Structure 1
């Protein structure tokens, strides 16, 4: 995502945040919101990775504690010509993953226990390569800042429902407060959608090239999509503003925050990967692994390895 589009999206979210502040407390509220937004952006720039990782209870691992996972990330990072990111595991049964960090030199990749249990090595390589593509494309900072501001908009809008409704002529009133509570988070999500759709297709394409086999990533997307509808991710449900950071939307779709999809259609993403496979060869030689990558073949066996790694 280029810097101009990033600036426009951040400006849009900041303006929305200021608009909510204006509805609650007039011009002074808008000014306060502007100052708060600037402070949040600065704070998030330096602390974005720690904030999101903490929200999802991720713990860092290394070559000693999770050698298979760590070595796979290192192998793919080398292929992508990226610095080695920090590696985290989330104690979630739902298979999923995300990347975060303000730049490639300060990046992290986080995967769930469910992802390691349910995917083959080649499918997992596709997922990790996708997340490394986000890092290489410098998506991770804007993803996290967007999540922070969108979450703040939702929180302030709900606060305004009670604060604004009791201010008489100085606030938006009951009807205005209800409208603000509903429309402001939806508007924030629309901006998240605009960010998500272009970056996911780009990360799929580059990630498939990094891992060497588009169909491994396509298979992983299908398996994660199916599991996400059956296995809840409670941390993601508690922090819905971070949903767009995951490779597949982790939310159950039962709340207001899921009125609109934060990700492109998985079927469309798979179709794009199938087209890419036809262009570069479905067998997808992976030089870093030194062999043709089969559609399955996990961790030295014919079925995904069960249980935590390392």
Structure 2
């Protein structure tokens, strides 16, 4: 078990314990068991339906074999080639119609995975940069991060819901009125901290594995720089309507957070680029690929 996997295990265990603790404060030992069963049921549902649910939320369209758009055919072909190189099953491939450049992966395991890129990503990045981004997303699938992220998001949402539910019990629960107020404030914050910690550690690892799959860390570094710059200037309406899925994207689609703070779901992009430069053994500034800033299809 790697250090990253072990850290994720303990963080998820802590979140589960927090969920059960809230249940205990609301209803004693019986409340704790009900909370555990409820969490298990929610996670089982998410395990089976996460991919399709997230794709529907963002209006993703699956790429067909008879696509007329050469850009989309090339994108799908490159993803399949990268999956073959990574020795993993081909995922379902989607495109999301939004100008913001971004991408995410979803699915409970490599055999039931899907990757999605926005039209903005395909328009603004060159081919090698798009490949770098999709290699990053395939790394999430290969590392089984997509399931971890879904379970974490589900538990975090459930903890917040339970904390709000405690308000209706007021001082009649084990925590008392002051305890209930503290529970409402600090339980969601604790869940957010755990979710952020898991997401950020997974992004660094996916950058590393994705760069190894693609073979050129600087392509991903260049892509991250472009996506970060454009994401702060372009509104992703689907993501704004579904903020709980923000941690799944390669760059935060809701805003351009640059601080590596406690509640950020993504690491600082500059830190990620520095790590990729170290992998490439280069200290030179990130440069655009051979097709220029808008890519071969723009």
Normalising by the smaller structure, the TM-score range is 0.7 to 0.9
The Cα offsets for residues 122-142 of structure 1, whole Å up to 9 and x where unpaired, read as 111110000111111222211
Any stretches of 5+ residues in structure 1 without a counterpart?
Answer: 283-293
Match of 1:50? 52
CA separation of 1:178 and 1:95: change in aligned 2, threshold 3 A: farther
| Aligned partners of 2:124 and 2:293 also within 8 Å | no
Residues 273-288 of structure 1 aligned to structure 2 (within 5 Å): 273-278=276-281
Displacement, 1:174?
A: 5.1
Match of 1:267? 270
Displacement, 1:297?
A: 3.4
Give the one of 37, 40, 61 matched to 2:39. 37
| Aligned partners of 1:133 and 1:206 also within 8 Å | yes
Displacement, 1:171?
A: 6.1
- Distance in 2, matches of 1:93 and 1:49, equals 22
User: Does 1:191 find its partner at 2:194?
Assistant: yes
CA separation of 1:153 and 1:67: change in aligned 2, threshold 3 A: same
The Cα offsets for residues 132-180 of structure 1, whole Å up to 9 and x where unpaired, read as 111112222111111122122223323433x233xx3336455444432
Give the one of 53, 59, 62 matched to 1:60. 62
Displacement, 1:197?
A: 2.6
Displacement, 1:243?
A: 2.1
- Distance in 1, matches of 2:112 and 2:92, equals 8
| Superposition CA RMSD, Å | 2.7
**Matched length:** 287
Name whichever of 111-120 and 261-270 sits farther off: 111-120
Match of 1:289? none
- Distance in 2, matches of 1:25 and 1:252, equals 39
- Distance in 2, matches of 1:235 and 1:64, equals 27
| Aligned partners of 1:48 and 1:145 also within 8 Å | no
SS at match of 2:115: strand
User: Does 1:92 find its partner at 2:83?
Assistant: no
Match of 1:11? 13
| Aligned partners of 2:228 and 2:256 also within 8 Å | no
Give the one of 228, 243, 247 matched to 1:244. 247
- Distance in 2, matches of 1:91 and 1:156, equals 35
The Cα offsets for residues 241-294 of structure 1, whole Å up to 9 and x where unpaired, read as 32222111222279xxx9711111111110011111117x99xxxxxxxxxxx8
Any stretches of 5+ residues in structure 2 without a counterpart?
Answer: none
CA separation of 1:259 and 1:206: change in aligned 2, threshold 3 A: closer
| Aligned partners of 1:9 and 1:191 also within 8 Å | yes
SS at match of 1:147: helix
SS at match of 1:248: coil
| Aligned partners of 2:193 and 2:262 also within 8 Å | no
Displacement, 1:302?
A: 6.9
| TM-score, scaled to structure 1 | 0.82
Match of 1:304? 295
Displacement, 1:82?
A: 1.4
The Cα offsets for residues 173-216 of structure 1, whole Å up to 9 and x where unpaired, read as 55444432332222112112221232211211121122221111
SS at match of 2:105: strand
